[in-house]
Amino acid sequence: MVEQRYMLDTNTVSYLIKGVEPAIAQHLNKVPMASVCISSITEAELLHGVAKKPEAKKLPIIVKEFLLRVETLPWDSNVAQAYAMLRTACEKKGRPLGNMDMLIAAHAYAVNAILITNDKGFRNVTKSLVVEDWTLSK
């Protein structure tokens, strides 16, 4: 059983695939791959990115290889309940996130994962959501 889980958000995966933020790969090498996951929402966003760029011949292969190596967690009823609670709380505070980001935040929260992102907006969701920025060197 995995003790700590790290959920990569879509931007983090995109940076990793493009190789533009070497610190992400360095962080990733320090944790067991079994502890790394993505939301099915991130998978959908990655596949959408591939579909939007049919001329990018290597991108589908890179995304497919990435998806083979990382666990994709399903979005279920527990996550839906977390989403409803968190989105309502953010809206009441006047700090809503974009729809896809809120779905990913709720997923990380519901599965008690550390959300890996450099998007500062995620820090406003709830103090209970642990967020780390792996674009920063340790």
| pLDDT per residue as tens digits for the range 66-102 | 999 999 999 999 999 999 999 998 889 887 788 899 9
Residues 14-21: what's their mean pLDDT?
A: 91
DSSP 31: S
Average pLDDT, the chain: 91
Residue 57 corresponds to which tokens in the numbers above?
A: 């011949």
Task: Decide which of 3.40.630.10, 3.20.20.60, 3.40.50.1010, 1.10.357.10 is the CATH code for 6-132.
Answer: 3.40.50.1010
Task: For 11-135, list the strands marked E by DSSP.
Answer: 36-39, 71-73, 114-116, 131-132
The pLDDT assigned to 106 comes to 95
Global pTM reads: 0.92
Quote the Cα angle for 100-46-19, to 5°: 115
pLDDT exceeds 70 at position 1: no
Contact 63, 47 (CB under 8 A): yes
The pLDDT assigned to 132 comes to 94
